[in-house]
Structure 1
Amino acid sequence: MYFFLLAIIYVAFISLGLPDALLGSAWPSMHQYLNVPVSYAGIVTIIIAAGTVISSLKSDYLTRKYGTGLITACSVALTACALFGFSISQSFFVLCLFAIPYGLGAGAVDAGINNYVALHYKSSHMNWLHSFWGVGASIGPYIMAFALINFNSWNGGYRIVSIIQIILTCFLFITIPLWKKKEHTSKEETEILSLKQILKVKGVILILITFFCCCAFEHTAGIWATTYLTNHYGIDPNIAASYGAYVYLGITGGRFACGFFSNKVGYKTLVRGSLVVMLVGTILINIQALCLLGLIIVGVGVSPVFPAIIHYTPINFEAKYSGAIIGIEMASAYVGIIAAPAIFGFISEHLSIGIYPFYLGMLVLLMVIFSETFNKVIS
């Protein structure tokens, strides 16, 4: 049962990753179809991420009351409905309306499953879990590219992914009893904290800022990669849509590889090494001949940071507080997802899309500052 439930969790994270890269891959075509500026991708991202922030903050309460299994199944179902709504959207306003349930569905399942794995499984499983998110995120752009090339329709890409999500939802509802058996044994080990109490815990604010920068980097890199390749290097949008998956391929491969040694490497070493690789990747993106390699390296570099911060939360802090702290960590991450891509969209429209690698480099430097400060505080 231990490994069967783990397989179910992996499937759930594939479903979580599937739609994440669709917007970036489809946007060069979508904004023309919807007759809106290229920077409006930031508005959609803001709405989605705002929903995830709200549901992440409520995830600890929801999973305690209804269980991780039921919340996961319902959240994936909500996401599936939202993606189908994307596929039938004929205006930017309607797209924004469906972005609301999309965000609400993603936040609860993300925070709930991350806490579940942090408490019940090893560091290697946390990396492989997020590697499976990368599997979904990597497949997404290829599905979109297939729809654009064969049907000349971004709507078709969203429709395909919504159908996959519906199938996964049915599977998750069938397996709900398996989650309940394991959760029942650990309810007494956790403790409810208010937001004010969480922020007073030593080091929490520093890790929240680090997490903010990590997800700001990851999602800015993924969402704007296709637009950068199209507008800066002149690559055809239909072809660039699949190239946009390179960041997520790097993330997937990096997390899969880290799963084999993350149990032996400490938190500090893992994060420091990741930051160096991320910086190298941002430099290569600025060189046309090496740009695609740079996108992969950027993905490989950032890949272990998210799982490491989540998995070490019960270790860096107290395990009984992990549900509440991971919930606010996820909220902080999604604030980064809200702010960073949107800010980049605004800046690039007024300056140049060519600032893409420099913007990513700035986020890496901020991560260095706050992660090292956190290391000193908890040591």
Structure 2
Amino acid sequence: MYSLLLAIIYVAFVSLGLPDSLVGAGWPVMHQDLGVPVAFAGIITMIIAGGTILSSLASERMTRRFGVGVVTAVSVGLTAAALVGFSVSGSFWLLCLWAVPYGLGAGAVDAALNNYVALHFAARHMNWLHSFWGLGASISPFIMSYAITSGLGWSSAYRIVGLAQAVLTFVLIISIPLWGKVRPAPPAGTDAAPDGQPSGAGPSGGGHSHVPLATALRIPGVVLILAAFFAYCALESTAILWASTYLVTDRGVEDATAAAFASLFLLGITGGRFLAGFFADHVGDKHLIRGGFAAVGLGVLLIALPAGTPVPALVGLVVAGLGCAPIYPAIIHSTPVNFGARNSQAVIGIQMAAAYTGSTLAPPTFGVLSTWAGTWIFPLFLAVLVALGLLMSERLNRLVARRADRPAQGPTAGTGVLGTAERKG
């Protein structure tokens, strides 16, 4: 039962990544067929991001009421319907309409699945699962490329991925009874229920009352981790979008070489998460986050070196990708430990919203700044985000450590930072 559900979750994470690259991969052809400017891609992505943020914030209430299995199945079903809707859309306004369920489905399933894995599985699975997300995000451009080059058209790529999502929806519906039967193994320091099961870990995610947004934000340390998560996702999305441009305009790298190394940044994240899974349980989330930001900082330094050759910048981009790899999974996986199992769904929902806000706002912000100052500020922009993420995560570590030094007072029920133990398995 445990292995079967875990396999389904792995497939679900691949499915989460599949739609994420479709718009970008197909837009050079799509905007011509639809008769709209290239810049209109930003409208679609903003609608998707808005829906994702809203559903992330609502995920805690939905998961407690209906259960993670139902939320996951319905969310994937929404995404499947939206993708099929994209495939039959002959106008831009229809794409905008279908972008609404696209975003709503993506945010809810992301928050629900991440919290479930954080509560029920070891750190190695969190890293491997996010590696599988990268696999899905890497596959979809090839699907779009095949659809276009074979003469099927961009709509066929959306139809293929949409039907794959529909099949997964059917599998998830059948698997709903399994989600409540896998017993979590709470790490030391979490607020466990009397039977040893963490609060809110039941089949429906219930057992405790809803944690309102305002209450979750008042939990000590939540604002710190939101700032760190915002910084990380802003860093990642900015590097993905602008690295190739920086290499060409400021380091004299050939267009093809710059594109290849920009893709290596993504491959570094995907491969790095796969490798991190082998030692994540032994190193612990706190050290993975700290080491990840440090490695990204080293990569940014190499990118910024005023060398006569672009080699340090190219190497730095790969190093930065590898450093990014464990940060996202480790932040998510450490949430039940830092804030309590009963609060984790609410906090992870807010974290997802912060993540999408950072990844949505940072790239255009850099675009505006680079228009004014020049793309040479690329490594400086990344360095500021690295410093912010590292500073906020280290402040959270100190807060958690101070809380652990006062065991006699015990955790504040449902609101406090809980323990310092790293999850080991």
By the TM > 0.5 criterion, same fold? yes
Paired amino acid for 2:109: V
Distance 2:114 2:344 in 1: 10
- The 1-side partners of 2:111 and 2:240 are apart by 21
Q: Which residue of 2 aligns with 1:263?
A: 281
Q: What is the CA–CA distance in structure 1 between the aligned matches of 2:316 and 2:161, rounded to whole Å?
A: 28
Aligned length: 377
Equivalent in the alignment of 1:311: 333
Aligned partner letter, 2:339: F
Provide closer, same or farther for how the CA distance between residues 228 and 7 of structure 1 changes in structure 2, counting only shifts above 3 A: farther
Deviates more, 1:360-369 or 1:97-106: 360-369
Aligned to 2:270: 252
Q: Distance in 2 between matches of 1:32 and 1:137?
A: 24
8 Å contact kept, 2:270–2:325: yes
Q: Match for residue 99 of structure 1?
A: 99
Amino acid at match of 1:207: I
For 2:43, give the aligned amino acid: I
Per the TM alignment, residue 120 of structure 1 is displaced from its structure 2 partner at its CA by 1.1
Q: Give 1:298's aligned residue.
A: 320
Amino acid at match of 2:226: L
1:220 and 2:242 are equivalent in the alignment: no
Q: What is the distance in 1 between the residues matched to 2:313 and 2:161? A: 28
1:208 partner amino acid: L
Structure number with greater CO (CA < 8 Å, separation at least 6) is 1
Work out whether residues 84 and 162 of structure 1, in 8 Å CA contact, stay in contact via their aligned partners in 2: yes
Contact 1:21 1:223 in 2 (8 A): no
Q: Which residue of 2 aligns with 1:25?
A: 25
Q: Mark the CA change 1:39 to 1:245 in structure 2 (over 3 Å): closer, same or farther.
A: same
Partner residue of 1:127? 127
Further displaced range: 47-56 or 336-345: 336-345
> Which of 345, 362, 366 is equivalent to 1:323?
345
SS at 2:181's partner residue? helix
Contact 2:49 2:356 (C-alpha < 8 Å) held by counterparts: yes
Number of the residue aligned with 1:374: 396
Mapped to 1, the partners of 2:148 and 2:244 lie a distance apart of 14
Within a 5 Å distance, the mapping from 1:93-172 to structure 2 comes to: 93-151=93-151, 153-172=153-172
**Does the 8 A contact of 1:250 with 1:303 survive in 2?**
yes
Q: 2:221 aligns with which of 174, 189, 203?
A: 203
Partner in structure 2 of residue 50 of structure 1:
50
| Cα distance in 2, alignment partners of residues 294 and 88 from structure 1 | 42
Alignment check: 8 A CA contact 1:46 1:337 kept: no
How big is each residue's C-alpha offset from its partner over 1:278-330, in whole Å with a ceiling of 9 and x where there is no partner?
Answer: 23444566775576655543332212111111111111122221121111111
The answer (yes or no) to whether the contact 1:138–1:246 under 8 Å persists in 2 is no
Q: Which residue of structure 2 aligns with residue 175 of structure 1?
A: 175
| Contact 1:39/1:345, CA 8 A, preserved across alignment | no
Contact 1:24 1:225 in 2 (8 A): no
Cα deviation code 1:189-245 (max 9, x no counterpart): 655321111111111101011111112222333355677789886647xx95x8765
In the TM superposition, what is the alpha-carbon distance from 1:166 to its structure 2 partner? 2.2
Which residue of 2 is the match for residue 336 of structure 1? Answer: 358
Q: CA deviation at 1:104?
A: 0.2
Q: Is the 8 A contact 1:19 1:161 kept in 2?
A: yes
Say which is worse superposed, 168-177 or 45-54, in terms of deviation.
Answer: 168-177
| CA deviations over 1:245-288 (Å, ceiling 9, x no partner) | 53332222111111111111133321121112223444566775
Deviation sequence 1:104-126 (CA, Å, 0-9, x none): 00011011111111111111111
In percent, how many aligned pairs have the same letter? 52
Which ranges of structure 2 fall in alignment gaps of 5 or more residues?
183-200, 402-425
User: In the aligned structure 1, how far is the partner of 2:317 from the partner of 2:91?
Assistant: 31
Task: Give how far 1:152 is off.
Answer: 8.6
SS of structure 2 residue aligned to 1:181? coil
CA deviations on 1:155-207 (whole Å, 9 max, x unpaired) are 44333322322222222222222124346468566553211111111111010
Following the alignment from structure 1 to structure 2, what is the Cα–Cα distance between the partners of residues 146 and 83?
Answer: 17
For 2:73, the equivalent position in structure 1 comes to 73
CA contact (8 A) 2:85 2:98 kept: yes
1:289 and 1:157 map into 2 onto residues whose CA distance is 36
More helix by share: 1
Q: Which structure would you say has the larger Rg?
A: 2
Contact 2:217 2:223 in 1 (8 A): yes
1:41 and 1:95 mapped to 2: Cα distance? 10
Deviation at 1:347, TM superposition (A): 4.3
- State the 1:372 CA deviation: 2.2
Question: If the length of structure 2 is used for normalisation, what is the TM-score?
Answer: 0.78
1:60-89 Cα deviation digits (max 9, x unpaired):
111122221121111112112222333344
Write the distance in 2 (CA, Å) between the matches of 1:187 and 1:288.
51
Partner Cα distance (1:244, 1:167) in 2: 33
SS in 2 for 1:19: helix
Letter of the 1:319 partner, please give it.
Answer: A
